[in-house]
Copies of this chain bind each other. A is one copy, B any other.
């Protein structure tokens, strides 16, 4: 008998029919002799609709009110799921963030969990109920509802799993696990049976959108085993845990990311404090800088490049229009046609040849490297967007990640693929 937390995202509870499917799945676990606690997101597009209502009455709604408004989405899905379970003859009881004992700080819209009480959940389990917990929400010291920000429902699931000492925290979504690369880009990608927290965090940071980083960080910190699996099949997914006990590969997976732009400042006078001025200016204007590349100085001038999300480009332009003249740089150039391809693997630490093999592989395939950045367990290169698919495939092959079988497109509809690509919360 296991104690399981099972988290279902917005797509999985988007309609009464899907909620019935989730109810069946939870009941199947009980019939198999396991104890289970469900955590749910809001139904489908509910959150967007609530945000729209708020925007109609206030351009800049107070965060306390916004949190309470958004938290109603999960209150709806949790009660409907509890009702669906009861309709099938099993006892269920829903719990808001407060009732589930999720205590947070008072930072509305991005609250941090400071304490998890497990009494009510454990009591419900002991009395034979399937507890259903609202994801994404908690209660602050004033007794006000807070929300946990992006990835909040995954974080709730991990926190509840920790709070009740669950054996595993299952996170159901429209992808069936973590792959060595995106199967839509690289048909020979393999699903991983397991992956370490560190590799998972690096893959997520490099663009693999399977799990929310914050939930993985929480799980790493508190030793919660995550099982990322499909809401639409019974197949095993991927376990994220401290010691995945997998074959020690140098590279665990390859992520790619086409959501960034590269900006280059040309002919910047190479003086002390230039980089500090540039990047503190960008930070002040809320531009999230990812990679930074500074070329070797020549004749007292240098080029400085950085990447940032496309979504931050307008703000970056504002900063640069002001700062470029101050720095006496010649100009800045924006390249929106790039992709970042990242090799991730804890095994990289003890394998000095990774960069050499990566660069030679890309060279043999006539793929030009526009920028490079590294961490102890990650190597990222920026390439032209048109060459990103080829870059992922040839690196995947070169590092021995290829599966024997070619990934066949699953039965996902166009709508479901679109949903896959849009990251839920």
Q: Give chain A's interface residues, CB within 8 Å of chain B.
A: 16, 19-20, 23, 50, 53-54, 56-62, 64-66, 68-69, 71-72, 75-76, 78-84, 86-87, 92-94, 96, 98-99, 143-144
Q: Which residues of B contact A86 (CB under 8 A)?
A: 58, 61-62, 65
With A19-B57, A57-B20, A82-B62 known as contacts, the answer to whether A76 contacts B69 (CB < 8 A) is: yes
A64-B84 Cα distance, complex, nearest whole Å: 14
A80 and B69 contacting across the interface, CB-CB below 8 Å: yes
A57 and B72 contacting across the interface, CB-CB below 8 Å: no
Residue picked from A54, A57, A62, most chain B C-beta under 10 Å: A57
- Main SS of the interface on chain A? helix
Q: Which residues of B contact A58 (CB under 8 A)?
A: 83-84, 86-87
With A59-B87, A86-B62 known as contacts, the answer to whether A80 contacts B68 (CB < 8 A) is: no
A30-B86 Cα distance, complex, nearest whole Å: 48
Q: Which residue of B lies closest to A78 (CB)?
A: B68
Q: Which residues of B contact A98 (CB under 8 A)?
A: 143
With A99-B143, A143-B99 known as contacts, the answer to whether A83 contacts B54 (CB < 8 A) is: yes
Q: Which residues of B contact A65 (CB under 8 A)?
A: 79, 82-83, 86, 92-94
A81-B62 Cα distance, complex, nearest whole Å: 11
Output the least CB separation between A108 and chain B (Å): 12
With A58-B87, A62-B82 known as contacts, the answer to whether A53 contacts B68 (CB < 8 A) is: no
Output the least CB separation between A306 and chain B (Å): 37
A87-B92 Cα distance, complex, nearest whole Å: 41
Q: Which residues of B contact A57 (CB under 8 A)?
A: 16, 19-20, 23, 80-81, 83-84, 87
* CB<8 Å pairs between A and B, sample of 15: A16-B56, A20-B57, A50-B76, A53-B76, A53-B80, A54-B79, A57-B84, A61-B87, A65-B94, A68-B79, A68-B94, A69-B76, A72-B76, A75-B75, A98-B143
Q: Closest 9 CB pairs between A and B?
A: A16-B56, A58-B87, A58-B83, A69-B79, A72-B72, A57-B84, A65-B79, A61-B83, A65-B82
Output the least CB separation between A372 and chain B (Å): 47
Output the least CB separation between A123 and chain B (Å): 11
Q: Which residues of B contact A56 (CB under 8 A)?
A: 16
Output the least CB separation between A121 and chain B (Å): 13
A302-B86 Cα distance, complex, nearest whole Å: 49
Q: Which residues of B contact A87 (CB under 8 A)?
A: 57-61
Output the least CB separation between A206 and chain B (Å): 37
